[in-house]
Amino acid sequence: MADEDEMAMDDWAAALAEQEVADAAAADAAPSVQAADIFERFDAGAPIGANAPSNIDMILDIPVSLTVELGRTKIAIRSLLQLAQGSVVELDGMAGEPMDVLVNGCLIAQGEVVVVNDKFGIRLTDIITPAERIRRLHK
């Protein structure tokens, strides 16, 4: 039994030695590929904003949801179920107040309602700066 164990260990040792030789030969034969050969480097050369005009073209056709909000309210489900055609729901917005313009739920501007060729629109009166948008997110 001890002879069989020694023979098995010798077989494993021989197989491992053979594998090491094969791995070393493969490493010597394979060309060395570096990340710079495949991917664009972001840390070299141009400042961050230098490629912005050409890179922004990739996102210009992405659709976003634009919402103009007249106001909000909270009502009980009982009241909601009693609504019918002609019902009036009171909102917290006042007549003449600027309407909020949201893009994907984020406030970006305020404006006033206009009618042009029998269609409703909004005239932007105040654009929220990026710094103000970030400040409002932390509230």
Residue 8 identity: A
Domains of the chain by start residue, with CATH: 2-137 (2.30.330.10)
Residue 67 identity: T
Rounded to two decimals, the pTM is 0.50
Angle at CA of residue 62, ends 66 and 70, nearest 5°: 0
pLDDT in tens, 62-83: 999 999 988 889 999 999 999 9
Measure the CA–CA gap between 103 and 108, rounded to whole angstroms. Answer: 7
Structure tokens at 106: 């984020």
Structure tokens at 74: 């909270």
The contacts of residue 125 (CB under 8 Å, 6+ apart) are: 98, 109, 110, 111, 112
pLDDT in tens, 27-60: 666 555 554 456 666 665 555 555 555 678 888 8
The contacts of residue 92 (CB under 8 Å, 6+ apart) are: 71, 72, 73
